[in-house]
Structures are given as structure tokens and as C-alpha cells.
Amino acid sequence: MKLKQKSSWITYREMLDQVTNNSIKSWLIENGPITKRISAKEDFELNLIRYEIDKVDELDKKYLGDDVGDIKVREVILLGNKIPKVYAKSLIPVDTIEKGFLKLGSLGTKPLGDILFEKDIFNKTDTIYSTFSDEVNIFWGRKTKYLVKNLPFSVMEIFLIDE
């Protein structure tokens, strides 16, 4: 899936001013696991695109903290009734896996939300918002930074609902 970021990252308040579609806004402000939201009304499926150590761009590195070392990149598509609903990309530094929470390194096709919201060891520290395009549609997304034992990782979710 080729999605290109169309706007700069903005704050929660700026997003509230810009997003007029209440359905999209509800996805952007969802506090619980997206997987549970999808599976509550539809047959949920997770397609793993990749899960490997890779280079990330400088803005993503800066968001995590400059000296994070090697980063494991995990990309997935969340589907409801076989229709893509969310593209998600997690950036998990190897140090965060090894010194923070080992299960982050062995998720495979399990949803990250299954552990992220079940454990009290994860702290959400920041969420920012932006728009993305597949050359036809515009989608909203969010990127959230978490800490586990004071070690960072991030999750970006793009909601494949066009405005």
C-alpha cells in the first residue's frame, strides 16, 4: 500500500478544528484497541506486511529520540469483512524490545493492541495527526509515542476511510 503524507503533523486541538467528519474523528480519538473496535462489528483479520530491522527517516527517529539504535519496523493492514480499514506501522527500537518488553519483538500476526492495552506498563506520551493520500483519496492518520520502562516506540495508524 503506497500512502504519501500530505500535511505536516498537527496537535490534537488542531486536528479537532480541521476534521469535520465525525466518523473519522471518532477513529482518530479512539482510546481503546482499534482491533477490538473493528472486530466488534466485523470479521477481523490482520495481514502482516513486514516485520524487520530497517532504516527509518530522520523525523521518525527524532520522534522516538535520536539515540534509539536499530529499529524493528512492523507494517500491517487491519481488515474488517476482508476490507482494509487501517494501515499501521510500528517503530520499535531493538533496545525497547530487549530492555523494555520482549513480547514486542515476537508479535508475528498478533495485534499489538492485544498487549498494548492489556498491560499497565505502557505509557502513552504523545499523539500527533496528519493526512495521507493514495493518489485518489485523502485519509487521516495518527502517530502515538509510547514508553515501556522509559524506552520508546511508536505506532502510526492511517484510517482508510476517505473524507
pLDDT digits (tens, 9 = 90+) for 91-116: 999 999 999 999 999 998 999 988 88
Average pLDDT over residues 13-19: 96
Structural domains for the chain? 4-159 (3.40.1410.10)
Mean residue pLDDT of the chain comes to: 93
pTM for this model (two decimals)? 0.94
Q: Which residue has the cell 502510526?
A: 156
Average pLDDT over residues 115-141: 92
Q: What span, in angstroms and rounded, lies between the C-alpha atoms of 70 and 103?
A: 17
pLDDT value at residue 120: 84
Q: What span, in angstroms and rounded, lies between the C-alpha atoms of 16 and 154?
A: 22
Asked if 117 and 110 count as a contact pair (C-beta separation under 8 A), the reply is no
One-letter amino acid identity for 146?
Y
Burial of 62 (C-beta count, 10 Å sphere; 0-12/13-18/19+): exposed
Is pLDDT above 80 for 154? Answer: yes
Cα dist from 77 to 35, 99, 118, whole Å: 11, 28, 21
Q: Where are the beta strands (DSSP E) in the chain?
A: 4-5, 44-54, 71-80, 83-93, 122-133, 138-148, 151-159
Per residue in 24-68, pLDDT (tens digit) is 999 999 998 999 999 999 999 999 999 999 999 999 999 998 788
Asked if 112 and 82 count as a contact pair (C-beta separation under 8 A), the reply is no
pLDDT value at residue 160: 96
**Cβ atoms within 10 Å, residue 69:** 12
Which of these, 119, 155, 162, 156, lies nearest to 141 by C-alpha position? 156
pLDDT value at residue 117: 83
Burial of 72 (C-beta count, 10 Å sphere; 0-12/13-18/19+): buried
Cell digits for 92?
520499535
Q: What span, in angstroms and rounded, lies between the C-alpha atoms of 156 and 158?
A: 7
Is pLDDT above 60 for 163? Answer: no
